[in-house]
Amino acid sequence: MQEGKLVGWKVGLAVLVLAGLGGGLLAGCGGSSASSGGRATLTWYVFPEHSGAFTQAAADCTRASGGRYTIAIQTLPSDADSQRQQLVRRLAAKDSSIDIIGMDVTWTAEFAEAGWILPWTGTAAQQVTTGTLAVPIQTATYKGRLYGAPANSNTQLLWYRKDLVPKPPQTWAEMISMATALARQGKPHYIEIQGKQYEGLTVWFNTLVNSAGGTILSGPTTVSLGAPAQVAAGVMKQLASSPGADPSLSNQQEDQNRLGFENGTAAFELNYPFVYPSAQMNAPKIFAQMGYTLYPAIIAGKPARVTIGGLNLAVSAYSAHSADAFAAAACLRNAAHQKVAAIKGGLPPTLSALYDDPGLAKPYPFHQLIKEQLATASVRPQTPLYSDVSLGIQKSLSPPGAINPRAVLGNLESELKLALSSGGLI
């Protein structure tokens, strides 16, 4: 009898443990956006914004909705690749917990083609495009429809040391010869740029190809490249084999570039505006000599067409509250919140009028340069197969020092064809 009891006990315990496990698993998978008492909770998946500008915008818009919805922020990983991986896995599984998506400018075609996001139409579309710069709108548009509300933009400037470079270079050729001259004098001379095999390498190449008057693709599935791509790859190779190249060039991302400049080994740096407040805080001596100017051109007299970055807000196709989500997204990127994001978080606005706002001038003394560059900015290939295309470009051009000018164009073409046919390994 006693044994029987014991056995019963054990079975009971095992069942309990299992039930606990199963319950935990189920609870972990659930968590769809709930509405409590008529008030919808909208979940905004977005990159970690450390200044608090996004949190403030979410709180403001919740208040402004008058009790219609609450916006909750769900933080994504910090790099764009991991953000995308997490989002696409959720979206492919039709996760209804996502309402608003903080979408990198390169994801629009992919998300739209897969049917994961809803197009902006009617007055909502009008509201988020009025007064917005043209190129940011272009990044949010796929097959003639608007899929995102441009929330902020981004572009790289040329940062240089005023004590080493009295007159900043206007072309790549000038910059490389200045760096070579500085090297000969034994002065800091590196040109800091993103040379690692990752998205940054595609950004660099896209800027150079467009600055040389070409494009990477001429349609969602047609390779363009040609002579401008040849020139672009040549410039990358030229920098990599000149004394201006940082020895770690082929392993560097934005942050290593920032550190290189702050350490005082570099004379030039091509990077996003976040490096400005960072230098001010970490390296006041370097900061005192930190100049900024337009990104160098390839062809003298023809401004560079710098690759645009930034964030568009999209509404998930699986959201249970899409109407509210459109309203909330429009609020999150309105003029007031873009201004906060620019001043607090250093994110360049997409609204044209904000560049004339006197409040921006002090923390953002280079705002007119950014506006000028955004007007001529270039967009990365707009194809649902963008990540395949980017991977192919990175693999053909890494490391920049090993580019073979004779073979590079053929390599790029065959990689891009593989990418666009979505067959074959890359």
Partner 1 sequence: MSDAAAVPAPPTARAADPRPRRVTERVRSERRLAWMLCGPAVFVMLAVTVYPIVYAIWLSLHRSDLRFPAASKFIGLANYGHVLSSSLWWADVGHTLIIAVFSVSIELVLGMGLALVMHRAIFGRGVVRAVALIPYGIVTVVAAFAWRYAWAADSGFVPKLLGLNYDPLTREFSSYVVIILTEVWKTTPFMALLLLAGLALVPDELHEAAKVDGATAWQRFVRITLPLIRPAILVALLFRTLDAVRVFDTVFIETAGQNKTETVSILGYNQLLNRLNLGLGSAVSVLVFAMVALLAFLFIKVLGTSLAQQRGEK
Tokens of 416: 């891009």
Least distance from partner 1 to the Cβ atom of residue 179, Å: 17
* Phi, psi (rounded to 5 degrees) for 103: -105, 130
Least distance from partner 1 to the Cβ atom of residue 364, Å: 29
Least distance from partner 1 to the Cβ atom of residue 236, Å: 14
- The contact set with partner 1 (CB under 8 A) reads 3, 6-7, 10-11, 14, 18, 81, 85, 88, 92, 110, 113-114, 196-198, 246-252, 256, 259-260, 384-385, 387-388, 391, 398-399, 422-426
Cross-strand partners of 44: 73, 100
Beta strand 39-46 pairing with 222-223: unpaired
CA distance 191 to 199: 19
Least distance from partner 1 to the Cβ atom of residue 25, Å: 11
Least distance from partner 1 to the Cβ atom of residue 92, Å: 4
- Kindly tell me which of 126 and 422 has the beta carbon lying closer to partner 1: 422
Least distance from partner 1 to the Cβ atom of residue 199, Å: 10
- Kindly tell me which of 76 and 304 has the beta carbon lying closer to partner 1: 76
- Kindly tell me which of 18 and 353 has the beta carbon lying closer to partner 1: 18
Tokens of 197: 């095999």
- Kindly tell me which of 18 and 335 has the beta carbon lying closer to partner 1: 18
| Length reported for the chain | 426
- Kindly tell me which of 349 and 392 has the beta carbon lying closer to partner 1: 392
* H or E element at residue 408: helix 408-421
Least distance from partner 1 to the Cβ atom of residue 7, Å: 6
- Kindly tell me which of 79 and 356 has the beta carbon lying closer to partner 1: 79
332, 311, 329, 312: which is closest to 321 by C-alpha? 329
Which residues are CB-contacts of 319 (< 8 A; sequence separation ≥ 6)? Answer: 33, 42, 96, 98, 99, 100, 118, 325
Tokens of 305: 């067409």
Least distance from partner 1 to the Cβ atom of residue 260, Å: 6
Determine contact, residues 312/108, Cβ cutoff 8 Å.
yes
Give the Å distances, CA to CA, from 364 to 156, 337, 358: 14, 16, 10
- Kindly tell me which of 74 and 248 has the beta carbon lying closer to partner 1: 248
What amino acid occupies position 168? P
- Kindly tell me which of 240 and 379 has the beta carbon lying closer to partner 1: 240
What does the radius of gyration of the chain's CA atoms come to, in whole angstroms?
Answer: 25
What amino acid occupies position 4? G
416, 388, 377, 399: which is closest to 229 by C-alpha? 416
- Kindly tell me which of 155 and 394 has the beta carbon lying closer to partner 1: 394
Least distance from partner 1 to the Cβ atom of residue 248, Å: 4
* Phi, psi (rounded to 5 degrees) for 75: -80, 135
* H or E element at residue 104: strand 100-104
Tokens of 384: 């649902």
Least distance from partner 1 to the Cβ atom of residue 314, Å: 15
Determine contact, residues 85/199, Cβ cutoff 8 Å.
no
* Phi, psi (rounded to 5 degrees) for 241: -100, 10
Least distance from partner 1 to the Cβ atom of residue 239, Å: 14
Tokens of 196: 């690692």
CA distance 267 to 269: 7
CA distance 388 to 419: 5
- Kindly tell me which of 72 and 259 has the beta carbon lying closer to partner 1: 259
- Kindly tell me which of 254 and 324 has the beta carbon lying closer to partner 1: 254
112, 102, 116: which is closest to 53 by C-alpha? 102
